[in-house]
């Protein structure tokens, strides 16, 4: 079926068309452009056919790609996500990208999501013109000779205030740790937030929520249990807003966390390190009960915590990738998994796997603690999790080094644990995007020596509160 005149500049590829009877995808070439032609209904039911056609494209670096939508009879938001995937694919190859306008119903969907002003859209392939840069060579569909940048060019724009610089973190593909298959491994670099941790999102959200509800008075002292990262984020924000801060923290955390908290002016109360986060929570709750002048945002049970990730982290991942096969994050307070994970589940359904990673308690015979054995974050909804994987501190440290040595990512120990599970999940899948969260940077762990010596020589593996 020909949609345009000029047989001399149009030729059908040898690759057969993919069809299910309701959606047909055909690859053509037109005057230097690679065109993916859709015919039928591009919706949730048939998107796998379109996705396979897109993944199978042989697209030249610095070439050109256009999607021809004219023969579509229907498209929903699933089709919109596929268009965004195609655009990102073109960007990664340095290729031009355009759409050939579909019928009113299809074009209206693009208008509703605000894409008509962001994409080049022509009425006919003849209007595409010659590509801006001729394609010198053709690579295979999975050729990845070096790591690409973030899937979008959204980047981190200038901000009028440090707190407005929180979020919009890059998503980068890991080509060395990722499998050499149709599965792509992505790291969400929450470590690039102002204090070097994704907890900046949570700290800002819970303080701004308290202010909006008038739950906190000007100059009132904030009290919060923490293992370090959220406390540091709160300390930065409280210092800027004029709230005194007292944190309760296990006494076996790395020295850098203590120094950072004191640098921002926070007061520290130490809880027994052997009890971990459970002990910090119990001590802070007792202090708040004894002194009503404290305001405790309580990150473990504050709905603003997961909402920060629902409206931020999860949305950014969807905007960057569109489709996600698995999302992997540390358990922690449950905020990242419950917020970003829920957003992904609502958008993608059971097509996305939600995986929680948690520290495996040290000591003989302890094994993995069940939810019933100790403190369970009130935010946590176990039914949202598809898998829950324990990782030992030793393995987490080893993978933290692998992130640095093989991918150049300077991350904290929990991120190493999460990376180890994400790679395992990626190896199990046949195709799709696996996204994991790099929660914090590694400078909070420098005193441990884990980045400079053999991982097996790191002191305090089973006695330090790494996470």
pLDDT in tens, 340-383: 999 999 999 999 999 999 987 654 333 334 444 456 778 899 99
Q: What is the pLDDT of residue 205?
A: 96
Residue 72 pLDDT greater than 80, yes or no: yes
Using a pLDDT cut of 70, give the percent of the chain over it: 83
Exposure of 234 in the CB half-sphere (CA atoms within 13 A): 31
H/E stretch holding 67 reads strand 64-75
Q: What is the pLDDT of residue 58?
A: 60
Q: What is the pLDDT of residue 338?
A: 96
Q: What is the pLDDT of residue 157?
A: 55
Strands (E), 101-179: 121-122, 171-173
For the segment 449-456, the average pLDDT, to the nearest whole number, is 78
Verdict on whether the full-model pTM lies above 0.85: no
How far apart are alpha carbons 17 and 220 in whole angstroms?
67
Q: What is the pLDDT of residue 467?
A: 61
Query: Predicted confidence band at 130 (pLDDT cuts at 50, 70, 90)?
Result: confident
Q: What is the pLDDT of residue 286?
A: 96
* More confident of the two residues 327 and 255: 327
Residue 3 pLDDT greater than 90, yes or no: no
Q: What is the pLDDT of residue 404?
A: 94
How far apart are alpha carbons 39 and 41 in whole angstroms?
7
Q: What is the pLDDT of residue 375?
A: 60
Query: Predicted confidence band at 12 (pLDDT cuts at 50, 70, 90)?
Result: very low
Mind listing the pLDDT tens digit for each residue in 309-344?
999 999 999 999 989 999 999 998 999 999 999 999
For the segment 179-183, the average pLDDT, to the nearest whole number, is 92
For the segment 297-302, the average pLDDT, to the nearest whole number, is 94
Task: Report the SS3 class of residue 190.
Answer: helix
Least confident residue range of 30-39, 167-176, 227-236: 30-39
Using a pLDDT cut of 90, give the percent of the chain over it: 56
CA distances from 200 to 73, 158, 162, 321 (A): 45, 17, 11, 23
Residue pair 414/467 in contact by the 8 Å Cβ criterion:
yes
What domains can you pick out in the chain, each with its CATH number?
Answer: 7-127 (3.30.750.24), 162-196+310-457 (3.40.50.1100), 199-290 (3.40.50.1100)
For the segment 127-134, the average pLDDT, to the nearest whole number, is 69
Please give the mean pLDDT across all residues of the chain: 83
Residue 175 pLDDT greater than 70, yes or no: yes
Q: What is the pLDDT of residue 59?
A: 57
Which of 207, 218, 251, 221 is CA-nearest to residue 464? 251
Mind listing the pLDDT tens digit for each residue in 100-120?
999 998 988 888 877 888 889
Residue pair 73/102 in contact by the 8 Å Cβ criterion:
no
Residue 436 pLDDT greater than 90, yes or no: yes
Residue 387 pLDDT greater than 60, yes or no: yes
Mind listing the pLDDT tens digit for each residue in 132-171?
544 433 333 333 332 334 454 444 556 668 898 999 999 9
């Amino acid at each position: 079926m020909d949609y345009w005149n000029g047989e001399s500049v149009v030729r059908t590829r040898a690759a057969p068309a993919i069809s299910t009877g309701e959606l047909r995808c055909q690859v053509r070439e037109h005057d230097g452009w690679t065109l993916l032609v859709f015919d039928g209904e591009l919706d949730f039911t048939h998107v796998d056919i379109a996705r396979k056609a897109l993944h199978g494209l042989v697209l030249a670096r610095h070439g050109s790609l256009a999607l021809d939508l004219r023969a579509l009879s229907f498209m929903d938001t699933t089709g919109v996500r596929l268009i965004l995937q195609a655009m990102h694919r073109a960007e990664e190859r340095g290729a031009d990208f355009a759409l050939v306008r579909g019928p009113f119903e299809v074009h209206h969907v693009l208008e509703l999501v605000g894409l008509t002003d962001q994409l080049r859209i022509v009425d006919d392939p003849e209007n595409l013109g010659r590509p801006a840069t001729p394609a010198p060579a053709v690579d295979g569909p999975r050729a990845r000779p070096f790591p690409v940048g973030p899937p979008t060019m959204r980047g981190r724009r200038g901000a009028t205030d440090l707190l407005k610089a929180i979020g919009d973190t890059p998503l980068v593909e890991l080509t060395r740790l990722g499998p050499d298959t149709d599965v792509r491994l992505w790291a969400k670099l929450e470590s690039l937030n102002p204090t070097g941790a994704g907890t900046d999102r949570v700290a800002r959200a819970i303080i701004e929520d308290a202010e909006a509800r008038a739950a906190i008075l000007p100059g009132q002292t904030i009290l919060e249990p923490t293992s370090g990262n959220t406390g540091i984020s709160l300390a930065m924000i409280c210092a800027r807003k004029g709230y005194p801060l007292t944190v309760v923290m296990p006494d076996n955390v790395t020295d850098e966390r203590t120094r950072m908290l004191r640098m921002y002016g926070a007061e520290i109360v130490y809880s027994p390190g052997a009890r971990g986060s459970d002990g910090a929570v119990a001590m802070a709750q007792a202090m708040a009960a004894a002194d009503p002048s404290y305001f405790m945002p309580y990150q473990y049970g504050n709905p603003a915590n997961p909402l920060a990730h629902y409206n931020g982290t999860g949305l950014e991942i969807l905007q960057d990738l569109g489709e996600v096969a698995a999302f992997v994050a540390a358990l922690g307070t449950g905020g990242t998994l419950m917020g970003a994970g829920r957003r992904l589940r609502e958008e993608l359904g059971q097509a996305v796997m939600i995986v929680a990673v948690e520290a495996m308690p040290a000591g003989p015979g302890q094994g993995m603690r069940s939810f019933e054995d100790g403190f369970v974050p009130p935010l946590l909804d176990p039914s949202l999790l598809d898998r829950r994987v324990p990782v030992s501190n030793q393995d987490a440290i080893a993978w933290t080094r692998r992130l640095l040595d093989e991918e150049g990512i300077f991350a904290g120990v929990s991120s190493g644990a999460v990376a180890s599970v994400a790679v395992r999940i990626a190896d199990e899948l046949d195709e799709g995007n696996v996204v994991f969260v790099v929660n914090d940077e590694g400078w909070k762990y420098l005193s441990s020596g884990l980045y400079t010596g053999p991982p097996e020589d790191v002191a305090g593996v089973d006695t330090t509160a790494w996470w």
